[in-house]
Structure 1
Amino acid sequence: MKNSVSPNRSIVSPEQRSAALVDRRNRKMAQSAHAFVRGTTARFYQWLASRHAPVLPDGPDVWICGDCHLGNLGPLADGRGNVDILIRDFDQAAWGNPSFDVCRLALSLSVLARSSDLPGMATAHILERLLLGYEMAFPEKPKTAPSMPPLLRMKVLRAHRRTSKILMRERTGDDTLKLPLGCHFWPLWRQERNALDDMFQMPSVLELVTQAKKHSSQGSIHLADAAYWRKGCSSLGNSRYAVLLEVTSSSRGTEDWCLMDIKEAGPALVPVRSNASHAISDHGSRVVKAATQLSPHLGLRMQSTHMLGKSFFVRQLMPQDMKLDIRSLRPGSAGELAVYLGYILGRAHMRQMSPDIRQAWKKDLNRARRKSVDAPSWLWDATVGLLADLEAAYLEHCRRHVMGTFRRRMG
């Protein structure tokens, strides 16, 4: 069942993809300072490597997210339908220094605080609470875990209520169970369609689907529809596809539907030590390995593979999977949000460390504390420096891309 091209102007042909994606990324990054942060991972690491950056704690090597901003956390479901707030994106994941993740999340929360017109002292409070929550994860058996803030509790409850029918309705738009070409889904090259057909004949990928849908491996899987998926902006240039599968159980004779996300895995931007013993050369395998360590809910329903000479990873989408789309913060909620998200990040790192390494890392995090600021100087200086750098870069981005587009449209 192939998609047919309609006169819908939002449909982008394969030849037009690259230019359309660049244009969309530029416009999306201009929407807000926080959107700009999400799309500038490379700039983040360039600044940390510059002479202006403070020396970060030399943490123990673990699997890190690499791009731990607010939008890359959210509700995720396990195989039994249990939902937790976890890291949900691993494109930049690497075996590296966990302080990179702490700085990236601190920057994300601080930019959101500034965009919410919170006073400067709120940023200092956020950094202090973020590190407090992170450290709360490090005892072997934490006596007290931070309470989930009402804002996040509402999102988890909403995720619990979502069903497969809701997910299908969102992606297909009607009862035809086809991916509608338009704003989000674009036509495929013939070789892409053929490669996707071949992918879902691979035993490893078929096993992922049958396990996720709890069907016998003797059942049949039919690729009902596929399209290029225009989604996100931080991994521009990497291909991404949505695939709708029809899964038939041989024992029950029933049909089920499964939506799969197939994403190209490119090189990570995270600085990796030259002697990294856990480095994985295949990027798809790297992403899956990191997900399994950092967010088992998601990692267990992912599989690495290859297509058209490139590395990809496949994941089965669950209706409960959502990102944290938080547009603003209130003074009373910023601190509790920082504590809880710091705790989630700390748990992801902590489970990879031995007890001795955990205690040593916790002590190292607190070095260079100032009497006037509760957050250690390395975290405060990195966040303030990154905020200053990104503010100037964001304004320049808006001037170049938004004003340039406006002038072209005006004639």
Structure 2
Amino acid sequence: MIDPVRAIRSFNAGRDPERLALKYRAMRQSRFAFLRGSCHLFHDRLPAAKLFTKAPTAWLCGDLHLENFGSYKGDNRLVYFDLNDFDEALLGSLTLDLVRALTSILVGADVLHAAQDEALDLGRRFLDAYTQAILDGNARWVERETAHGRVRQLLGALQDRARPAFLDTRTVRKGKRRLLRVDGQKALPASDEQREQVTALLAEFAAAQAHPEFYTVLDVARRIAGTGSLGVDRYVILVQGKGSPDANYLLDLKQALPSALAGHVATRQPKWASHAHRVVGVQQRMQAVSMAFLRPLKWKQESYVLRGLQPSEDRVALDRTQPSMAELEGVIRTMGRLTAWAQLRSSGRGGSATTDELQDFAAGRKWGKTLMAAAQDCARQCEQDWKAFAAAFDAGGFKG
């Protein structure tokens, strides 16, 4: 029998106490935040049913939920909307990503401003869009010219965002130079030792690049972002870029840890050089265009993922506005198609099912109702686990 309180404490042991306290506080706020922060518990709870063990094998995001779709600038400097978090990525039954995504829609009904019957309908729309995209068999992508509705608005705002204005939101000007804004909301101060280690790691990486001066470190801070990964070793780095003060760049450096799904899939995994190589390798297979500066880095016994800093605001703001149901349906359908396209794009590689196998499964259709029922069970379990966590938190049991 799983004790959710003990499982959460055990999984998060050893994380940065200051940011871990922020994670627990966020998880207390809503069942949706709790779901995002407890991917490990979600998969601990998932039954070993044929639906999750015998479905075709695919490359998985591993933690597919509403907040893990977002916009970003690619390495070609164009903007895209896609799956954008691969910390838990690995090879497994394709239904593992689908049930997590569907559960997030049901659990996130409040932030979606949707009644439960509306959330169920949104889940069905997600599955319908996913299934149709698999049957279509073409891996497409979403950028500004092909996007619609709120996703198009988001991509337009990101493409038009001026670098100086963006830097002003994360840094403070000191004459002709900038320093990171350490506000306790998006960043916390780094110790001298942390600064030295990050600077040394970037210098080692830069030495092998065509323009090493681009990566000259100007400032380092501990980054606050996401929910599930809060407390993991993570930094925001201000680098020289193309020149100070308004052509500096912001990079994100995040420690890569074992996937929370690792003990829940029987599929044989490739032998990656490190967990960062796993994260980056799967991301490059599943995304249409990779994020800017995406690289796996090794430092002593640990590995880190380097990428361009992607603000948490660069998502469709489903929890801050009240979009119409038609707008919500459009976004959810887009997410369903993106999931299918990512699986199609990476099909037939490293042990994943071929496109034909994915299409044969999708054509069966009967699995859809079973999957929706499983997602409803997962949503009810999440509600129970959140209440147990909330009671322990309120009693002072989660202080980081």
Alignment-derived partner of residue 4 in structure 1: none
The count of corresponding residues between Structure 1 and Structure 2 is: 373
374, 378, 383: which one pairs with 1:386? Answer: 378
Alignment-derived partner of residue 182 in structure 2: 181
Alignment-derived partner of residue 252 in structure 2: 261
SS at 1:224 equivalent: strand
Tell me: CA distance 1:316–1:267, structure 2 relative to 1, closer, same or farther (3 Å): same
Structure 1 unpaired stretches of 5+: 1-15, 211-215, 370-374
Cα separation, 2, equivalents of 1:277 and 1:196: 30
**Deviations 1:123-175 (Å, cap 9, x if unpaired)?**
33222211121123233448999x84512222122222212212211111446
**Deviations 1:85-126 (Å, cap 9, x if unpaired)?**
111111111122221111111111222225545344323322
**Deviations 1:269-302 (Å, cap 9, x if unpaired)?**
1146455252425101111101111124335621
Alignment-derived partner of residue 6 in structure 1: none
Cα separation, 2, equivalents of 1:30 and 1:220: 41
TM-score normalised per structure 1: 0.79
Cα separation, 1, equivalents of 2:139 and 2:91: 25
Cα separation, 1, equivalents of 2:191 and 2:245: 32
Equivalent positions of 1:109-124 (< 5 A) are 109-116=105-112, 118-124=114-120
**Deviations 1:235-292 (Å, cap 9, x if unpaired)?**
244200111111458xxx9983121111000000114645525242510111110111
1:38 CA drift (Å): 0.7
86, 106, 111: which one pairs with 2:102? Answer: 106
197, 217, 229: which one pairs with 2:199? Answer: 197
Tell me: CA distance 1:219–1:243, structure 2 relative to 1, closer, same or farther (3 Å): closer
Cα separation, 1, equivalents of 2:52 and 2:363: 11
31, 43, 46: which one pairs with 1:45? Answer: 43
Cα separation, 1, equivalents of 2:252 and 2:231: 16
Q: Which has the larger radius of gyration?
A: 1
Residue 153 of structure 2 corresponds to residue 157 of structure 1: no
Structure 2 unpaired stretches of 5+: 1-13
SS at 1:86 equivalent: strand
1:345 CA drift (Å): 0.9
Alignment-derived partner of residue 400 in structure 1: 392
* Contact 2:182–2:189 (8 Å) recurs in 1: yes
Q: In percent, how many aligned pairs have the same letter?
A: 19
* Contact 1:245–1:259 (8 Å) recurs in 2: yes
Cα separation, 2, equivalents of 1:401 and 1:65: 29
Equivalent positions of 1:226-237 (< 5 A) are 226-237=220-231
Cα separation, 2, equivalents of 1:170 and 1:233: 21
Alignment-derived partner of residue 270 in structure 2: 278
309, 320, 326: which one pairs with 1:317? Answer: 309
Cα separation, 1, equivalents of 2:284 and 2:96: 19
* Contact 2:236–2:309 (8 Å) recurs in 1: no
Tell me: CA distance 1:354–1:312, structure 2 relative to 1, closer, same or farther (3 Å): closer
Cα separation, 1, equivalents of 2:345 and 2:316: 23
223, 233, 236: which one pairs with 1:239? Answer: 233
TM-score normalised per structure 2: 0.81
Equivalent positions of 1:82-101 (< 5 A) are 82-101=78-97
1:59 CA drift (Å): 3.5
Alignment-derived partner of residue 356 in structure 2: 359
Alignment-derived partner of residue 8 in structure 2: none
Tell me: CA distance 1:274–1:385, structure 2 relative to 1, closer, same or farther (3 Å): closer
